[in-house]
Structure 1
């Protein structure tokens, strides 16, 4: 049994990290029984493989199609459309073990960081099969219609604009809290860049952290290729994620460059690497960008996926916390120009700290704990 059940889906690493962040905040309270579960573990192996692979294949190989589908389905109410009803039947048929999970855990509160369990839970609440309060954490700045279901008790969103968008899609304002997107509490802790560079054995020079995300996607190699030639005075740290082929290619390329490059695969100390950096280069995923904001670091954004990442990108640019690198083959020039403008970097850092919500996970955890008290 679990007092609080946190449901995520491993279709994109951010949904998992959001659930883990709230769990870390909850576990600071020794009296709380928390269980974190991947909703896809309750589905058939074929469905699970298809669900993850289809998303990754679309965003990698057909991003414009993904963007079209994202925009098209955002214009219709997720719970009301014929497409949504068909999807619900399909998802229910492939997640029969989900009912067993709810029976076994018998949670007093449920929180979801992905829309798939929201769809299934809203359906059960509508049919009178579930009375447990269900909360949702929307992991991007823009609440897509896929997240909007009438029987979800409460939504936690990134900012006031996110809340307004959710209201316009039919959720009453009293069921919405502007908490920020939850990141692990460790990102609220900060160590100076020179101190962390010394701790990690990195050169003491302006440092750029190049991220590819947990799945190891993004134009890392193209950016490294732009550093061919003389040492430009920067230090590069590359994180290739779980993409072993990309990691190997980056290692090989780094050995040919005069600018110092440190290459990693998947890491567990990304918070330390962010501390060591003066600029973080990333695709604008919801979790990653909010972790960077929590660290108060300026961002250069690359290759946003049409849809949720494009909206995240536009938000960060509007807030002044990021710049956009359009031509990754010219990354060297772009970064050296940026580092020659100390005023611009300082302004980006200021705005990153201004919009950051490093305590979001704690605020959400407090809300869930109060829900337990209120019964």
Structure 2
């Protein structure tokens, strides 16, 4: 991470003015919506307890050019060259010793540009720090190792597999999704006694479940078997192709599409929806995803860590599309092995597969049970408790 001019315009606080000092400092990064949603979920859990916290986008502690390039390069890479991203992901998944030239060079560069980040730490004087993105962990580990800070630092891994970029020696506690993730951390050299299998934190609203008919009635949707096609916050995924597969379909189902912040995707989905006999409701970015999930019988999504965790909390079966090589592929494999999802390989024939799965009542029942069995809807509350308990 490179740190430059400090800008706090996107930070938020909880529990009043006191939150900016001596509370819990929650660090996230707007490189993928999931990291931010995980941070917000922890904030919501702390707020419910009446605890002070400060939510800060670590990219606001970087130069504007770095911030733009970091987010843009990631999105461009996973959309336009996913195989290259997967290659880089695997190559970088090695915990290197602190004595390696690469680690020394990266740390020296970060230290040289870390004054705004150090200023943030000094001004907020947090009682504990929790990171839902790996960017700040190296600096925090170094500062703790040199005795420059003496507060508990927690890391919350937002996918089922903890990549080596998350692993640093002086982090006090890692919160991971599964027992397998904990084992992977141990194999990468982290002490088992400092790992908690909490699950990935999601907003408490996803832990509340409303029956499908009631949810559909509230949202004004047809009372039919319903498929939700979600493209995530950034609007990524082959949703137009999935919709186009319904051109010849007259299936007695209803489709709901969420295009996220991708205005072009939303426009294309609306155009295709007008040509279909199947009823389709198209949304852009939404703030009631929990209600849309309640209304759905099957959810089509890319296997991002946060989205799939929210779906599990709702106890809904998934059809997974276009996993990015690397973290999403590992998420996908975990969900398939658990029996909570199916893989939609041929998106161009989505209508055939989706209607078939919906009609298979026994399969849907098994997937629903599997989703509920591996869900950890109280993860945010458990992490909040660990932060306040000084773990």
Cα deviation, residue 80, structure 1: 5.4
Give yes or no for the alignment of 1:27 onto 2:12: no
Q: Which moved more, 1:94-103 or 1:128-137?
A: 94-103
Per-residue CA deviation, residues 49-79 of structure 1 (Å, 9 max, x unaligned), is 1111111111111111110111111134375
Number of residue-to-residue matches in the alignment: 371
Which of residues 97, 107, 118 in structure 1 aligns to 2:126? 107
Q: 2:161 aligns with which of 126, 136, 142?
A: 142
1:2 alignment partner, SS class: coil
Query: Is the contact between residue 226 and residue 332 of structure 1 (CA under 8 Å) also seen in structure 2?
Result: yes
1:358 paired with 2:377, answer: yes
Call closer, same or farther: CA 1:53–1:81 in 2, change over 3 Å.
farther
Contact 1:42 1:97 in 2 (8 A): yes
- Does the CA-based 8 Å contact 1:78-1:149 persist in structure 2? no
Change (3 A) 1:95 1:331: farther
User: Counterpart of 1:15?
Assistant: 35
Structure 1 residues 84 and 215: CA distance shift in structure 2, 3 A: farther
1:106-164, Cα deviation, whole Å (9 max, x unpaired): 00100000000111111111222111110000000001000000010110000110100
Matched, 1:130 2:122: no
| Partners of 1:219 and 1:328 within 8 A in 2 | yes
Q: What secondary structure, in the 3-state scheme, does the structure 2 residue paired with 1:27 have?
A: helix
Gaps spanning 5+ residues in structure 1: where? none
Q: 1:121/1:351 Cα in 2 relative to 1: closer, same or farther (>3 Å)?
A: same
Q: How far apart are the structure 1 equivalents of 2:179 and 2:204? A: 22
Evaluate the alpha carbon distance shift between residue 224 and residue 93 of structure 1 in structure 2; reply closer, same or farther with a 3 A threshold: farther
Q: Does 1:6 align with 2:26?
A: yes
Match of 1:62 in 2: 81
Contact 2:207–2:377 (8 Å) recurs in 1: yes
RMSD: 1.2
Residue 68 and residue 80 in structure 1: after superposition, are their counterparts in 2 closer, same or farther (change >3 A)?
A: farther
Q: 1:303 aligns with which of 303, 322, 329?
A: 322
Q: CA deviation at 1:85?
A: 3.1
Give distance in 1, aligned partners of 2:268 and 2:112. Answer: 42
Shift of 1:370: 1.0
1-structure distance, mates of 2:78, 2:91 = 16
* 1:115 aligned counterpart, secondary structure: coil
Query: What secondary structure, in the 3-state scheme, does the structure 2 residue paired with 1:116 have?
Result: coil
Query: What is the distance in 1 between the residues matched to 2:234 and 2:176?
Result: 25
Match of 1:272 among 266, 291, 294: 291
Q: Is the 8 A contact 2:95 2:188 kept in 1?
A: no
Q: 1:263 aligns with which of 270, 273, 282?
A: 282
Residue 194 of structure 2 corresponds to residue 175 of structure 1: yes
Paired residues of 1:140 and 1:312 also in contact (CA < 8 A)? yes
Contact 1:110 1:133 in 2 (8 A): yes
TM-score, length-scaled by structure 1? 0.97
Q: Does 1:294 align with 2:310?
A: no
Summarize the alignment of residues 30-49 of structure 1 with structure 2, pairs less than 5 Å apart.
30=50, 32-49=51-68
Residue 323 of structure 1 is matched in structure 2 by 342
CA change 1:78–1:60 in 2 (3 A) is farther
1:238 — aligned with what? 257
Aligned match of 1:117 in 136, 139, 162?
Answer: 136
Secondary structure of the corresponding residue to residue 131 of structure 1: coil
Distance change in 2, residues 1:103/1:210 (3 Å): same
> What is the rounded CA distance, in whole Å, between the counterparts of 1:341 and 1:295 in structure 2?
20
